[in-house]
A and B are shown apart, each in its own frame.
Chain A
């Protein structure tokens, strides 16, 4: 077990180093950092001095080591657009994205699991067919189109929910939250539904197929033979055993929720990291792009690592498999 943990952790570090190399290459070679920092009237000598001062004349390997060293201390340089340290900008927008991701993940689990259980238990009811049809749309339609349709229905036609921004926010230390005010709660509904719809349909379909699989097994038949109530069988025995893959997928999907937040944040003008990253792509603001890349990969790699380890500690069958293989 320890060897497995160590190997996985080493792999994660390796992946992060590769990502850091890409981020560094972006930063160093795409567009001249000096040109972005100085005005047109700066002379050639001054540019050379700045180049020397910033260490851009050092060997590339030394520069890369410096880059990683600074990144470890959360120093990612200054944004070309905003002329402010990237770390500051990210810290300001981090809470907005995290709240959106958290609420939409919650939404997808709270709705997805019961819908999955229902469609598995009542395979032929019309409601199940409706759920499955809706899930097909949820999987097929692009996120931004769902967002626009929701805005059109709830913000433009019925005018019941706001279509942009976070509403009022409350400061809790460094964290600004919109979850404590009425307008903030109303503002998060449409973006969270937009972002969570795909995950919800995914979880629903997964729970459904896992439930169908489990309901066929012998121990469920045995439980029925023992005369247990349907409730106890369905929720105590069947659902419990479907949850391991659901936890894995939900965990891994957290990463893609953060990535797809870029789209949702743009549609709803949600002031999070995704919106800032997109503006950085539009304006070729490399420091923000490379920082976002590092941050998001850090989150992804951590999630993958945690899910891997959780999986092994939750499901003993996997441990045996690995030892044999």
Chain B
């Protein structure tokens, strides 16, 4: 393993071969949990991406909905209808189809929010670590203060402010982006701290010094030269954060301040189903709940594994 580390950086033509022959891939194939988690994640993501093609019904096409079909239990139960494998909700929407479309929205919000948080955190972290002095103190003080508060509270607050600002003018698209923004803004701190730490280490190395000596613009040094060297831990944080972002989105939607029932995420579906739990119609809430749990646990396991696999101290 030590020999592997001493191989000089490979050019593009060798990258694929190197990836196929890397420790990472071998370790991955050896870990049964990692493979299982990946399989579940990939299946759910593919199902979400291809929802419009594989879903048995289009839950948003009002012409296909029939109120006579509402509140049907899953197909294998006594009153079940074979057309609706996991039953139907109060509007006669096929639960399986709404789950497929819902995971699409949940994943979409999660990925966009993590992307936003990572981008913001990386840029601020690079600036803080490289510039030092006042800028560094300012950014890190803001981060410290924000870290005092749980992310969910900050997301709720930003979301509430957004709702108050837009008042009656809000619509589905706007609510989607307010949600992405509020989750993204509540998760940037971790990235900023990590990137700042590694940037401070990288900054004093010879290649940065050389780049500065030949007069390359600081922005180019940061993004072209420093960034690739500090990005590793960010990927691990992003994986684990994706699960957190999906949970946060589901929580906000469940609390009724996320996505509306016309554009339901998994959280919204659970919120809708929760109203019928006492009537014994458990399938409306429980199946989206199971999907959410599977997705989150699988991504978490994957993130945990990735963190351990990339941690040189544990090898």
Contact count band on B? 35 or more
When the two chains form their complex, are residues B161 and A142 in contact, meaning their CB atoms are under 8 A apart? no
When the two chains form their complex, are residues B145 and A142 in contact, meaning their CB atoms are under 8 A apart? no
Which one of A58-66, A281-289, A315-323 contacts B? A281-289
The reply on B118 being an interface residue by CB < 8 A is no
Chain A nearest CB: distance from B240 CB in Å? 11
Chain A residue with Cβ nearest B292: A145
The reply on B289 being an interface residue by CB < 8 A is yes
The reply on B251 being an interface residue by CB < 8 A is yes
Using A30-B164, A144-B254, A148-B270 as known contacts, say yes or no to A304 and B292 having CB atoms under 8 A apart: no
The reply on B235 being an interface residue by CB < 8 A is no
**CB-defined contacts of B145 to chain A, threshold 8 Å:** 15, 18-19
**CB-defined contacts of A136 to chain B, threshold 8 Å:** 297, 300
The reply on A201 being an interface residue by CB < 8 A is no
The CA of A140 and the CA of B255, in the complex, are separated in Å by: 19
A 93-111 contacts with B by CB, 8 A: none
B 247-280 contacts with A by CB, 8 A: 247, 250-251, 254-257, 270, 274, 277-278, 280
The reply on A256 being an interface residue by CB < 8 A is yes
**CB-defined contacts of B164 to chain A, threshold 8 Å:** 26, 30-31, 284, 286
The reply on A272 being an interface residue by CB < 8 A is no
**CB-defined contacts of A301 to chain B, threshold 8 Å:** 148
Chain A nearest CB: distance from B304 CB in Å? 9
When the two chains form their complex, are residues B270 and A145 in contact, meaning their CB atoms are under 8 A apart? yes
When the two chains form their complex, are residues A300 and B257 in contact, meaning their CB atoms are under 8 A apart? no
When the two chains form their complex, are residues B296 and A142 in contact, meaning their CB atoms are under 8 A apart? yes
Contact of A259 among B150, B254, B277 (CB under 8 A): B150
Using A263-B255, A281-B160, A282-B256 as known contacts, say yes or no to A15 and B148 having CB atoms under 8 A apart: yes
Chain B nearest CB: distance from A274 CB in Å? 10
When the two chains form their complex, are residues B163 and A142 in contact, meaning their CB atoms are under 8 A apart? no
Chain B residue with Cβ nearest A18: B145
The CA of A281 and the CA of B251, in the complex, are separated in Å by: 14
A 288-303 contacts with B by CB, 8 A: 289, 293, 296-297, 300-301
When the two chains form their complex, are residues A281 and B289 in contact, meaning their CB atoms are under 8 A apart? no
When the two chains form their complex, are residues B251 and A289 in contact, meaning their CB atoms are under 8 A apart? no
The reply on B116 being an interface residue by CB < 8 A is no
Contact of A266 among B255, B285, B293 (CB under 8 A): B255
Chain A nearest CB: distance from B69 CB in Å? 24
Chain A nearest CB: distance from B159 CB in Å? 7
The reply on A127 being an interface residue by CB < 8 A is no
The reply on A4 being an interface residue by CB < 8 A is no
Contact of B160 among A259, A266, A284, A297 (CB under 8 A): A284
**CB-defined contacts of A140 to chain B, threshold 8 Å:** 243, 293, 296-297, 300
When the two chains form their complex, are residues A289 and B160 in contact, meaning their CB atoms are under 8 A apart? yes
Contact of B277 among A141, A142, A152, A277 (CB under 8 A): A152
**CB-defined contacts of A293 to chain B, threshold 8 Å:** 157
**CB-defined contacts of A139 to chain B, threshold 8 Å:** 300
Contact of B161 among A26, A156, A255, A282 (CB under 8 A): A26
Chain B nearest CB: distance from A147 CB in Å? 9
> How many residues of chain A are within 8 Å of chain B by beta carbon?
43
The reply on A280 being an interface residue by CB < 8 A is yes
When the two chains form their complex, are residues A255 and B289 in contact, meaning their CB atoms are under 8 A apart? no
B153, B167, B255: which has the most chain A beta carbons within 10 Å? Answer: B153
A148, A163, A259, A297: which has the most chain B beta carbons within 10 Å? Answer: A148
When the two chains form their complex, are residues A148 and B289 in contact, meaning their CB atoms are under 8 A apart? yes
Chain B nearest CB: distance from A291 CB in Å? 12
The CA of A142 and the CA of B160, in the complex, are separated in Å by: 21
The reply on A185 being an interface residue by CB < 8 A is no
**CB-defined contacts of B286 to chain A, threshold 8 Å:** 152
When the two chains form their complex, are residues A30 and B165 in contact, meaning their CB atoms are under 8 A apart? yes
The reply on A137 being an interface residue by CB < 8 A is yes
The CA of A34 and the CA of B209, in the complex, are separated in Å by: 58
The reply on B140 being an interface residue by CB < 8 A is no
When the two chains form their complex, are residues B255 and A262 in contact, meaning their CB atoms are under 8 A apart? yes
The CA of A296 and the CA of B159, in the complex, are separated in Å by: 17
Chain B residue with Cβ nearest A26: B161
Using A142-B251, A142-B292, A144-B254 as known contacts, say yes or no to A152 and B282 having CB atoms under 8 A apart: yes
Residues of B whose CB lies within 8 Å of any CB of A are 145, 148-150, 152-153, 156-157, 159-161, 163-165, 167, 243, 247, 250-251, 254-257, 270, 274, 277-278, 280, 282, 285-286, 289, 292-293, 296-297, 300
The 7 A-B pairs at the shortest CB distance, nearest first, are namely A281-B160, A284-B164, A259-B150, A142-B247, A259-B153, A140-B297, A256-B150
Known A142-B292, A296-B153; further 16 A-B contacts with Cβ < 8 A: A19-B145, A137-B293, A148-B274, A156-B280, A259-B149, A259-B152, A259-B153, A260-B150, A267-B274, A278-B156, A278-B257, A280-B160, A281-B159, A281-B163, A284-B164, A296-B149
6 chain-A/chain-B pairs, Cβ below 8 angstroms: A18-B145, A142-B250, A259-B152, A278-B255, A281-B157, A297-B149
